[in-house]
Amino acid sequence: MMEKSWLLAFTLFLHVIPREAAFGVSGGVGLGIGNAGSGVWIGGGISNTPTPSPGSSASNLNSAYAALQSWKSAITDDPLKVLDTWVGSDVCAYKGVFCADPQDDEPGPVVVGIDLNHANLQGTLVKEISVLTDMSLLHLNSNRFSGTLPDTFRHLISLQELDLSNNHFSGPFPTVTLYIPNLMYLDLRFNSFSGPIPEDVFNKKLDAIFLNNNQFDSQIPQNLGNSPASVINLANNKLSGNIPSSFGLMSSKVKEILFLNNQLTGCIPQGVGLFTEMQVLDVSYNSLMGHLPDTISCLNQIEVLNLAHNKLSGQVPELVCSLKSLANLTVAYNFFSGLSQDCAKLFFRNVGFDFSLNCIPGRDMQRPQPECSLIPGGGLSCLRIPSPQPLICGSLAETLEANLSSSSP
């Protein structure tokens, strides 16, 4: 997903910046990819931007100048001297500011992107930024911005990528992001946002949702499966309650879901099997209980499946261990009591397989017997399909929907 993100950003720049200008960027192109964020870092501004003629783009650039100077005044520390170039009315020469001729008949140039990744700036965002309505990319990862987002950001009608990761933002989820009409990529990770995640996050047409490493709490919204995103990362928060039972029922095309290191309880829902394009599923470091649903065997593109550090029990099913794309299966620190023969064959397939600290008889590195005498979640009732054998993955959606409907009050 990291590669996809910077590729999207770079493609976006090539789309909005004319070809002759795309290669006139002084300072070079570098990739600001790391654990805390990703994106294209292109420094120096566009060096060959013509001086606007009277009556052409003067009003656009004057508005941009006023907005960027207001923002500059709200930045209290600039150790790398990035903003030393933010002087004068030619905003297209500012480092990290990118201009292009607009796609319509309006006079140009206009500001189409701001990329200040890894600039280590300290300050706040200001409402005046919202006048940059032609801006399609705003990347601010790895700075020291604090506060929250101005409500006026809803006027950024062209914005497609918003990366605020690895900053000091706080307060509740910035709901203004849900009103940015064309947003596709939302990255809020590594901040101090708190409170519940609004359900509208999963109704919006976002391709990437990064909310990990914040202080979000409450339950995962029940409409999680509505999201068309290819990656959803909610890891390292304080989310509690069950994974929604409707998980997957909207046939989402998600490829990566990360729920690790929260406080989730209950079962892994049967709906997980509907994510047929899933490549990474990580629910480790929670308190999930019960047996694994057979529908996990429908994840025929899964490469990484991490179930470690939960309270899961029963057998590790043969159908799970026989998944053809599997590269790493981790079930350590649970209460599983058995492995199928196909699971034992994983080592010969060069698949990473960790089943330590369970309750599997005759295996090394298992829990002490007293810990296995009382399996957690023995009375837990999980919604399970009355299991016709063999499981038919192609008809899974209809079967799940029928069982959910029959179990509804």
What would the pLDDT profile of 320-374 be if each residue is shown by its tens digit? 998 999 999 999 999 999 988 888 888 888 899 999 999 999 899 999 999 999 8
Q: How confident is the model at residue 89 (pLDDT cuts 50, 70, 90)?
A: very high
Share of the chain above pLDDT 90, in %: 60
Backbone angles phi, psi at 34, to 5 degrees: -160, -175
Report the pLDDT averaged over residues 370-399.
67
Report the pLDDT averaged over residues 57-78.
91
The candidate with the shortest Cα–Cα distance to 166, out of 301, 36, 344, is 36
Fold of 213-386: 3.80.10
- At residue 9, the pLDDT reads 47
Rg (CA), the chain: 25
Report the pLDDT averaged over residues 297-307.
94
pTM of the complete model: 0.83
Of residues 294 and 352, more confidence is placed in 352
Residue 57 has pLDDT above 70, yes or no: no
Tell me the residue type at 124: T
Q: Are 157 and 132 in contact (CB under 8 A)?
A: no
Residue-wise over 289-313: b if at least 16 C-beta within 10 A, else e?
bbbbbbbbbbbeebbbbbbbbbbbb
Domain boundaries, the chain: 213-386
Write the pLDDT tens digit of every residue in 226-261. Answer: 889 999 999 999 999 999 877 766 556 889 999 999
Q: How confident is the model at residue 73 (pLDDT cuts 50, 70, 90)?
A: very high
Give the strands of the sheet with 352-354, arranged side by side.
Answer: 97-100, 110-115, 137-139, 161-163, 185-187, 208-210, 231-233, 256-258, 280-282, 304-306, 328-330, 352-354
- CA–CA separation, 308 and 321 (whole Å): 15
Residue 11 has pLDDT above 90, yes or no: no
Write the pLDDT tens digit of every residue in 202-232. Answer: 999 999 999 999 999 999 999 888 889 999 9
Q: How confident is the model at residue 404 (pLDDT cuts 50, 70, 90)?
A: low
Q: How many CA atoms lie within 13 A of 338 on its CB side?
A: 7
Region of 240 (left: φ > 0; alpha: ψ -120 to 50; beta: rest) is beta
Write the pLDDT tens digit of every residue in 323-338. Answer: 999 999 999 999 999 9
Backbone angles phi, psi at 127, to 5 degrees: -65, -25
